[in-house]
Amino acid sequence: MTTAPPAAVTQDLDRLSQALDATIPARTDTNLLVATWNVRAFGDVTAKWAAGPRDSPKRDWHAVACIAEVISRFDVVALQEARRSTRALWFLLERPGPSLRVIASDVTEGSVGNGERLAFLYDSDRVQPSGLVGEIVLPTVADDPARQFARTPYFAGFSRNGIEFTLASVHVLWGKNAAERLPEVTAFAQWMRAWADRRNDRNHNLMVLGASTWTASGTRSTRRSWPPGFGPPTELNTVPRTIFDDSGANHFYDQIAWFSEPDGTPLLDGIV
């Protein structure tokens, strides 16, 4: 059983809440707030409000409560790097209130799978699952039947005010350099383009979220692998992604991308 947080934790959460109020747009009847967050090794949790120097993991109830406070400000959050253990996830679900729900994949097995699962956390008072959910599996190739993603991308459909949208979450293989990441990035982008182009499919308002190498500028080799019109908006290029970001070291661990017209107009119907 979780004990009540000590006064210091309550004060910390109050300060965080005030900072979020000043930073994140308020939810209204006509908007939709979607986020993506790679929470590193989000699996086990130390069952106390303050982890001690000998406790493992260092992530405690206090840390998860702070994560929950951020997530509670959005309608849907794609969470990457949830782990096989769901202790931290279940504690998070207790925090914001009964309207928070989760849809999660199974764990991708194998060493490169890293014991990870992907999850969507959503506010059931604001959005509802559309009934579409699944994992993205590459077509079988005769000379390479085992070719698949290191961590299987996961997608789920949602609906708000009668408008359906589909979110695909991905955590690409990082590897030692950009060249090792490129095959997965290319295969995933091409898969999404094919999905967007299929007729008579549930493919309206497709958005890609997660840890990837997509940037609006990108390297020449990376951009050459993208389908036409696919990528994140330029406005995201300057958004900090980690607590250790500075002006000389930008990171792109968390991204949101979609298909756009040549002038940058997003191909998303009815999403505001």
C-alpha angle 113/114/120, rounded to 5°? 80
Task: Report the chain's C-alpha Rg in angstroms.
Answer: 19
Q: Could you report the per-residue pLDDT of 154-169, keeping only the tens digit for each?
A: 999 999 999 999 999 9
Q: Domain coordinates of the chain in residue numbers? A: 29-259
Q: Is 166 helix (H, G, I), strand (E, B) or coil?
A: strand
Report the pLDDT averaged over residues 19-40: 93
Length of the chain: 272
Type of residue at 161: N
**pLDDT (0 to 100) of residue 216:** 47
- Which runs of consecutive H residues, i.e. helices, occur in the chain? 7-23, 61-71, 87-94, 178-197, 220-225
Give the Cα separation of 84 and 39 in Å (integer).
14
Cβ within 8 Å of residue 34, ≥6 positions away: 74, 75, 76, 77, 78, 167, 207, 209, 256
- Whether the per-residue pLDDT at 271 is higher than 70: the answer is no
- Whether the per-residue pLDDT at 222 is higher than 90: the answer is no
Decide if 25 contacts 33 (C-beta within 8 A).
yes
Determine what percent of the chain is predicted with pLDDT higher than 90: 46
- Whether the per-residue pLDDT at 224 is higher than 60: the answer is no
Helix axes 61-71, 7-23, angle to 10 degrees: 20
Taking the domain 29-259, which CATH number applies? 3.60.10.10
**pLDDT (0 to 100) of residue 174:** 67
Give the Cα separation of 3 and 21 in Å (integer).
27
- Whether the per-residue pLDDT at 132 is higher than 90: the answer is yes
Starting at the edge strand found earlier in the chain, the sheet holding 76-83 runs 34-42, 76-83, 116-123, 100-104
Residue 115, classified by CB atoms within 10 Å of its CB into exposed (0-12), middle (13-18) or buried (19+), is middle
Q: Is 126 helix (H, G, I), strand (E, B) or coil?
A: coil
- Give the CA count within 13 Å in the CB-facing half-sphere of 166: 20
The whole-chain average pLDDT of the chain stands at: 83
Type of residue at 42: F
